[in-house]
Each structure stands twice: as structure tokens, then as C-alpha cells.
Structure 1
Amino acid sequence: MPDIYFSNIKLEEDTEYFLYIGELKNYSLNIFLKEALSRIFNRKFDFIAIVPDAFEQYNYDNLIVINPKSTDYACKYGTYVCCRVSADEFSASVSKNRQIRALIRRLLNQQEKVYIYMFESLPEMTLDEIPGVSIIGPDKHVSKRINSKIYQYQNLNDILPVVDFRICHGFNSLIQTSQELSKSWRDGLFVCREYSAAGVNSIIAHGIDDIKDKFNALDEPYLISRYIPHEYDPTVLAVVVGEQDIYIAGVADQRIEQGNRFTGSDFPSVLNKKIIEKLKEYTRVIGQWLFREGYRGIFGCDFLVDDNDDIYFLEINARKQGTTLEFCCTLEQSLPPGSPMLPELEFYAVNKGVFPPNTMEMKSNPKNLHWGTYNYKIHDSVQTSAYIPQSAQEREAFKKVAEGKLRKDFLILEHAGCDFVVAEGAFIARIVALGHHPTDVQQGLNLGRKTIDLTIIKKTGFGGFK
């Protein structure tokens, strides 16, 4: 059981607490939830965030950091390391942690129930088996089933336009099927493991050697789909409340590098109104299917739009999207005061099965808000030589730009810190840029990347560096 890397818990009297368990990038999403719970129950709520992000310092209240890989990485590199851990491993580690369980017992001595809020509901999370503890979110076993890419394609193939695909049961079947398909699918094969997201566990293959190098003979199920050359990768964020009650938060354009590597999103989508309405229609169809599967809560759908403006379904993310916070900030500035935000919609979906009062979708962009995100991922380990002050003011930045107090702004969030090793596969920081025009966003993202680059030393021969 890993030790707690950092903790600054300070509980107040006359306050009920829920636990957020997930990455630090969604910390501020919980502020929307605590405000909603305070209104719903007419008493003060706050939250304790349990995250895996190992940084030099933290500018966040009531934070606990647990990373089951940090000790191994520290031994490898001989210094502090920012490293990424899978969501299921992190959830299992938190669930087994005696100090977290003691914290829950302490809270239950003071309040009747402890809610858990997660980025993704996972079976490895077992704290909800404690009497008095429940998850505000989709059923974890339903989510696991839905997040199988194979299950998605098998069930949605007859109700949506889905890219041509094949299912392979084992590595030998993958190689044999790929050899056959490559003769007719000349633009390439998109190959992924059953569970894959953001380019992890997937590849666009143009030859059998690409597949062998990527998957290293792992004998498990695979999904192969025909790669379609295209320019646009829209994503839709939504909430399942009832079979006919599917809330659409908005449509953004994903930024995909090297064909399958997600690096961020841009809002609003540049696609025309007809395509956007069709994307929303398809998402409602998916939401209705999710409801019949027993799913309630926030989800995302990814599509592609080819050169003929034909839309193809790519995948469901049965969880929150990386841009859930940005959409909350956009909705808050675009809808009438008192309109429920996404965490409140999810609470009602899971606990009441109806929309909360004053629910309204965003039909336009009245404040002409434009924003973009960029996830600065490290592919070969680096060391930092400087830090960027931590900011948790994203919501305030949206408000100032929407009200015209700022023309544009950008924020660098969750920077690992100074004299840290950032391991391969981890994020050194995240950028959010906003304004009233796409050029405002691009300027902010470019400046953010340049600023982060100034904090990086690319060394060879340092510890485990390549």
C-alpha cells in the first residue's frame, strides 16, 4: 500500500464533505458540485480531493496525493518524479488505503452519508461498499462494459454509421486479419485494444510490423477499423438522465496529432450547423441506448467527418471528458443565472432520474466565447529547471472574458514544478486559452507551450533518461 505523498486536510465544523477521486485537472469541477449540493440539501458542503499527481508544491485546499508508482520511479531516477498511473490502478490503491478508510469513518461519525465523485466510475473503486458511502456517477460495472470498444461497435453498428471494423480474438487473429484487410483498406488500419483512450493502446498501422511493434504479441481481444483520411474529429459532451432526456452540453473539435494522439480540444466547432445538428442527433441516439444499458450520467462521443461531410461514429467515453470543466465554465456564462451545471445534472440523473429545475441547453454562443486546451504530454523523460505558479482561476478567467473585462487570456495549469523528473507518458502541464476569436486561442496556446518549454531541460545520461 503506497504512502500518502502529500496531505493538507483541514476539516471545518458544520460542513459536510464529499470525496473527489481522480486527476488534479478536474479539481475545480468539484466547486460546481459543492455549490449544487449546498443548494439541494440546504447546508454547507465542501470536498476533499484525492489525486495521483505528484508535484513540487500545491495551491489547493483539502488535498491528498497518492501515487502507487511514485516510489518506484523515484528509485529509478534518484529524485522526485511526476509520473502517470492508470485510473484503475489508482482507484484500487485508494480503495485499499487504510488512511483513506479511516478518513471516511471519521466523516461518517459527523454526517449521515459520504458521496464519492469520480472522473470515471471503475470496478476497482470499492469504497462505495462501505455502508453510507455512494458514488455520484454512473454504475461502475455498467461503465466498464460500455467502455469496451468491442461492445460499442457490436451494439451500435445497426443504429449509427460506424466505420468498417473487425473483431479479433487474440494476437494471431489480429495479424492474420490485418494482412487480409490491408489489401483493400489502403489508407491504413486503426488497431486498438478493447479498452483504449486518447491514443493510448491504439495505432494507425500501415504494415504488419507496425502492429507487432506496438502490441508485442499480447494475446487479447482487438478491434480493427478502416482508417478514413479526414480533417475533423468532433466530440460531443452529454448527460443521460432518461431515455428521452439526453442533455447536450456542446460540440468541440478535437486536436489529433499523428492520426490517433489526442492533445486537446477547441470550441466552438468549425463545422457547419447542419453537421453539428446531426452530431447532436446521433449523440441522443447513443444516449438512449446508454439509458437502456443502465447508464446514467455524463458521457462523451467522438466522431469523424470525412471530406464528403459524412459522419462516422468512433467511440463512446462512458465518463467525463477532458473538457467537462471548460464546458461548465462556458455554460455558466451562456445560460440564465440559476441554470444547473453538469455535476448537478449528473447528481439528478443518478439519484432522481429527472432533470433538475431550470435545466436548459446552450442553443447559441451569446458571449462569443472561444477556447482551446492543450495537454503537454512527455514522451521521453525530461527534467525541469523552473516552475510555473499554480493557478486555479480558470472559472474566473472565463467570467472576465465573457464580461469583456479581458479580451483574451491563457492559463498554464498543473505544472509539475522545479527540479522534477517528468516521466514518459506523464503530463508536465496543461494549457487553457480563451478569447473571442480563434486567433486569440491559438496565440494563448502557442505562448503557453513556449513558456512550458522554458522550464524543461532535455538531458541524456541522467538517471533513466534516454
Structure 2
Amino acid sequence: MEHVLFTNFEYDPNKHYFLYVGELKTYGINLFFKEALQKLFPDKEIDFFAIVPDVFEQYDYDNIIVINPVVENYIKRSHNKRKISSRITSREFYTAVSHNEYVHSLINKIIENQKELYVYMFESSPYLTLIERDNVHLIGPDPFLVEKFNNKIFQYTLLKDLIPVVEHKICNTFTQLIEETESLRDEWDEGIFVTLEYSAGGANSVVSYTKRDLFNKYKGFDTNYLMSRYIPHQYDPTVLGVVGNENDIYIAGVADQRIVDGTRFTGSTYPSVLPDDIIDKLYEYTRTIGKILGKYGYRGIFGCDYIVDDSQNIYFVEINARKQGTTLEFCCTLENCLPKDAPNLPELELYAVLHNKFPENTVEKRDCKDIHWGTYNFKVPSNTVTDGYIPQFKDEREVFKKVAQGKLKKDYVVLEHIGNDFIITSGTFLARIVSVAQNREDMAEGIDFGKKLVENTIFIL
């Protein structure tokens, strides 16, 4: 099958399918979305198939199709028998999926039988042109609004008079960036944070102390830059929410991000250790942002990141106009603390898109503090070879249930480990660790155990 690296999907005409396009690390969100659709269409047997870019040794997932032209091209060029796993940009991946003949033939077969196909994504993208087909509908925010609101320069320009935003300037060339940063070094003496307009996970950002830092990071590239005063801080809270319409904003909760070297996101922990008055303010600011998104027509899940300095001042960092890294964990948390049959996040998003409102039995709950969870994204910093394998465990949801019900005091799992004897290119996720416990200490211990387990499967080239 040309341009498909792996598939185990067999179409069953007796089922009603939706399509997920995205990475395997967010595969579990689809199980919640499947249940939401099942409520909406009780007379149909709902299932889904997933198109993913993740190249693994083996797959313990149902109905997946693996497409990754970066790895495919490497295989064609290389005489090395060792397997390779390489991360691909979302633009390359969505473009490849959109032009794949097998995918189009499969969609043709499905919509002949069920008349329409819903598409679900981690982040809506205009590069997934499949959603422009007749009878194919995206459940999520409008892709062009997503692109607009993920632009950090647009965010800061929009919000600077509405919520606390760090002092900042916009530069349109690299030369201007150097001139502006050098003129402010004495005043902004704790460092200067610089980012491109788009920078997921801190990939295109740096905390600069000298102009050499900027040359090393950006190589003199002329583009638009956002520079801001770096504020030393201990806390990096992130808030997850859903926009139902311009008035109804649902807040799932607040987690604390783990940020390394000032920019690099490695995971989150819940519940937040911040005091209630700070949590109240974070809810307030995030609702304000959600209502602005809603006025523009945004419908669906979003997140906002902040910092809290040593004097308890809160500053806005960024909007994530998409599902963010805490989404699956918040789905698992809410499932165990909301009233029975109350809608979870994917169901809220489904109703927002289809009906411009939330279901009537929507419940927002803030006191889910009996569950403590943490995540760790194990991303390799340089080209790496694996020398070991951790068997796949995909049902993170079950771990949350067992801890919430008291069947376990604590547990941790290593998810999406790529496999043995792989070359893994710089910046690729090797595995993801999730720890769930009844207290924070046991949760943190699980993260440490998981990291050591993963570290034992690699050596650096």
C-alpha cells in the first residue's frame, strides 16, 4: 500500500466511524469522544480509525493507519537496516494525509455507507484539506481561527489591556531584535524572553542573556519576533477550558507545568499547588480569554498558560488554541469526580460545534483533589539509539479509575515507547510517563521511576 507504513484497519460497514488525525499520545481522547457520539447516535455502533505519524516497533492500538513521509524517505535513501523513528511537523503530516490516495479511497467507501464522516483532531489545521470534502465535517474549532489565535504577536496585541501581560515589544527583523534587546539589557537584567510568532512547547523560543544566544537560536533569520522581559518565577500554571459560545466558558482545572531552561515543556502535575486566591484569578482570566475567543466564533477546547512570580503576581504567557498536553488527563480526572452522565470535555466540544452551546446537564467541578497525577514527555535531545523495549500499555484511563476507586494507592505507566534497536532523531518523543496516586509524593515517585525505566532503554549516538 503506497505511502502507508502500517495499517491494521479493516472497514466494517455495520459500524458508524469517525476519523482521528494526530499523534498517538492523544489517542485516548478519542475513547471519550466515541462515547459522546454514542449518546448522540444511540442507534448506531460508533467506532473510529486513527491516522497517525508515529513509527513504532509494534502497535497495540485498534484501527490505525501510519503515514510519515519523513521516515518513508529515510527508508528509501538509507542502506542502514536499523529502524528509525522521526518526528514530523504537523504541516508535513497533514499535507501528506490530505494527498494520500488510500485515505481518500477509504473515505469514499465510508461516506457511501454512512453519508457523513466526522473528523476529530488535537489541533485544527488548514493543512488538513480532507475537511473540505463534501460530507466530511470537522468537530473542533475553525482551522483558520486556530491559526489566528495561536499567533503570539496577535495574542499579546489583543490582550495587553485586558489581563496582566508581561512588558513586551514586537520586532520585524533580526537586526531590529538585536538592537532592541541590546538597548534593554540593563533594564531587563534578569533576561529577555524571545519567541517566534508560533512556538509550540517552547521549540522556537529562548531566554536570552547575550546577543550570542539569539544568533545561536535564530541564525540571523528575518521574521517577526516577540520579545518580553523575563520574570524569574517558580510556578507555570496552565488552565484548560472549552468555549461553548461567547458567553459560556467551561473550565476543567489548573495544572502546574514543568518548564526546563525557561522554555522547554516536559510535563504537568495536578492538582496545582497554588493557593485558592491565585486559582480564582486564573479561572477569571481564562474565562475572559475564552469569551474573546467565543466572540470571534471559536468553539471547542483551548488552554492558557501563565506564570506566577515570587510576589504572587500573575502574568499571561500564551493561548493554546487547541487541545493541550493536559487534555487526556483532565478527561480521566473529570470522569472520576463529575456526577454520573455529566458531559466530559469531548462531549462539551461536540455540542459547542454542533449546537453552539453546552448540554443542559453540564457540571463544572473544581474539587477533584483526591486524584494526583503527573506526566512526563520523554523527548530525546539528540540523535539516540534504543537498546531496550518497554511493552506498550495504552489504557491510562483504567489507572485513573483504580486510584480514584481506592483499588490502588498509586500506579505509573510508560506509554508509547517506540521500541528496541531504533534510531530516534533529535526532538522525537521516545515515551510518555503518567503517574497517578492518592497523594503528591507517591505521584512524583512514579514519575521518577518511569524516567529511570525509559533512560535504561537508550544510549546517545
TM-score by length of 2: 0.98
Which residue number in structure 1 is paired with residue 234 of structure 2?
231
Q: 2-side partners of 1:68 and 1:219: how far apart?
A: 28
Contact 1:241 1:354 in 2 (8 A): yes
Secondary structure of 1:418's partner?
coil
Q: 1:39: Cα distance to partner?
A: 1.0
Q: 1:362: Cα distance to partner?
A: 1.4
Contact 2:245 2:295 in 1 (8 A): no
Instruction: Indicate whether 1:277 and 2:258 are aligned.
Output: no
Q: 1-side partners of 2:238 and 2:410: how far apart?
A: 24
Secondary structure of 2:198's partner?
strand
Which residue number in structure 1 is paired with residue 15 of structure 2?
15
Which residue number in structure 2 is paired with residue 173 of structure 1?
176
Q: How does 1:270-309 map to 2 (within 5 A)?
A: 270-309=273-312
Which residue number in structure 2 is paired with residue 33 of structure 1?
33
Instruction: Indicate whether 1:198 and 2:201 are aligned.
Output: yes
Instruction: Indicate whether 1:349 and 2:352 are aligned.
Output: yes
Which residue number in structure 2 is paired with residue 464 of structure 1?
none
Q: 1-side partners of 2:279 and 2:202: how far apart?
A: 24
Which residue number in structure 2 is paired with residue 443 of structure 1?
445
Which residue number in structure 2 is paired with residue 265 of structure 1?
268
Q: How does 1:13-92 map to 2 (within 5 A)?
A: 13-42=13-42, 43-74=44-75, 75=77, 78=80, 79-92=82-95
Letter of the structure 1 residue corresponding to residue 34 of structure 2: K
Which residue number in structure 2 is paired with residue 155 of structure 1?
158
Q: 1-side partners of 2:199 and 2:331: how far apart?
A: 25
Secondary structure of 1:262's partner?
strand
Q: 1:12: Cα distance to partner?
A: 2.4
Q: 2-side partners of 1:400 and 1:383: how far apart?
A: 35
Q: 1-side partners of 2:122 and 2:37: how far apart?
A: 18
Q: 1:11: Cα distance to partner?
A: 2.2
RMSD: 1.2
Q: Percent identity?
A: 51
Which residue number in structure 2 is paired with residue 141 of structure 1?
144
Contact 1:2 1:93 in 2 (8 A): no
Q: 2-side partners of 1:48 and 1:357: how far apart?
A: 30
Instruction: Indicate whether 1:211 and 2:214 are aligned.
Output: yes
Which residue number in structure 2 is paired with residue 361 of structure 1?
364
Q: 1-side partners of 2:433 and 2:200: how far apart?
A: 20
Which residue number in structure 1 is paired with residue 389 of structure 2?
387
Judge which range, 356-365 or 267-276, deviates more: 356-365
Which residue number in structure 2 is paired with residue 243 of structure 1?
246
Instruction: Indicate whether 1:400 and 2:434 are aligned.
Output: no
Q: How does 1:98-117 map to 2 (within 5 A)?
A: 98-117=101-120
Q: 1:2: Cα distance to partner?
A: 7.3
Q: 2-side partners of 1:380 and 1:454: how far apart?
A: 16
Q: 2-side partners of 1:76 and 1:167: how far apart?
A: 43
Q: 1:424: Cα distance to partner?
A: 0.4
Letter of the structure 2 residue corresponding to residue 360 of structure 1: V
Q: 1:200: Cα distance to partner?
A: 0.3
Which residue number in structure 1 is paired with residue 420 of structure 2?
418
Q: 1:8: Cα distance to partner?
A: 0.4
Q: 2-side partners of 1:164 and 1:2: how far apart?
A: 51
Secondary structure of 1:110's partner?
helix
Q: 1-side partners of 2:79 and 2:129: how far apart?
A: 32
Contact 1:77 1:421 in 2 (8 A): no
Letter of the structure 2 residue corresponding to residue 431 of structure 1: I
Q: 1-side partners of 2:140 and 2:302: how far apart?
A: 10
Q: 1:197: Cα distance to partner?
A: 1.5
Secondary structure of 1:69's partner?
helix
Letter of the structure 2 residue corresponding to residue 373 of structure 1: T
Contact 1:16 1:44 in 2 (8 A): yes
User: Could you say if the C-alpha distance between residues 302 and 58 of structure 1 is closer, same or farther in structure 2, counting changes exceeding 3 Å?
Assistant: same
Q: 2-side partners of 1:435 and 1:146: how far apart?
A: 35
Judge which range, 77-86 or 196-205, deviates more: 77-86
Q: Deviations over 1:114-155 (max 9, x none)?
A: 011000011111001110001000000011011000000000
Q: 1:101: Cα distance to partner?
A: 0.8
Instruction: Indicate whether 1:254 and 2:253 are aligned.
Output: no
Contact 1:387 1:415 in 2 (8 A): yes
Q: 1:77: Cα distance to partner?
A: 8.2
Secondary structure of 1:315's partner?
strand
Q: Deviations over 1:393-416 (max 9, x none)?
A: 111110000000001000100000
Secondary structure of 1:334's partner?
coil
Which residue number in structure 1 is paired with residue 342 of structure 2?
339
Contact 1:2 1:67 in 2 (8 A): no
Q: 2-side partners of 1:11 and 1:303: how far apart?
A: 44
Q: Deviations over 1:154-213 (max 9, x none)?
A: 000010100001001111111111111212100111101110121100000000010011
Q: 2-side partners of 1:66 and 1:104: how far apart?
A: 16
Q: 1:457: Cα distance to partner?
A: 2.4
Judge which range, 67-76 or 273-282, deviates more: 67-76
Judge which range, 356-365 or 435-444, deviates more: 356-365
Q: 1:76: Cα distance to partner?
A: 5.7
Gaps of 5+ in 2: none
Secondary structure of 1:277's partner?
helix
Which residue number in structure 2 is paired with residue 377 of structure 1?
379
Q: 2-side partners of 1:174 and 1:396: how far apart?
A: 49
Q: 1:386: Cα distance to partner?
A: 1.4
Q: 1:56: Cα distance to partner?
A: 0.6
TM-score by length of 1: 0.97
Contact 1:242 1:353 in 2 (8 A): yes
Judge which range, 349-358 or 249-258, deviates more: 349-358
Letter of the structure 1 residue corresponding to residue 384 of structure 2: V
Q: 1-side partners of 2:14 and 2:332: how far apart?
A: 28
Q: 2-side partners of 1:335 and 1:176: how far apart?
A: 53
Contact 2:334 2:368 in 1 (8 A): no
Contact 2:382 2:460 in 1 (8 A): no
Letter of the structure 2 residue corresponding to residue 205 of structure 1: S
Q: Deviations over 1:198-242 (max 9, x none)?
A: 110000000001001100111110100110000000000000012
Q: 1:363: Cα distance to partner?
A: 2.4
Q: 2-side partners of 1:458 and 1:219: how far apart?
A: 33
How many residues in Structure 1 have an aligned counterpart in Structure 2? 458
Q: 2-side partners of 1:370 and 1:245: how far apart?
A: 28
Judge which range, 402-411 or 2-11, deviates more: 2-11
Contact 2:3 2:72 in 1 (8 A): no
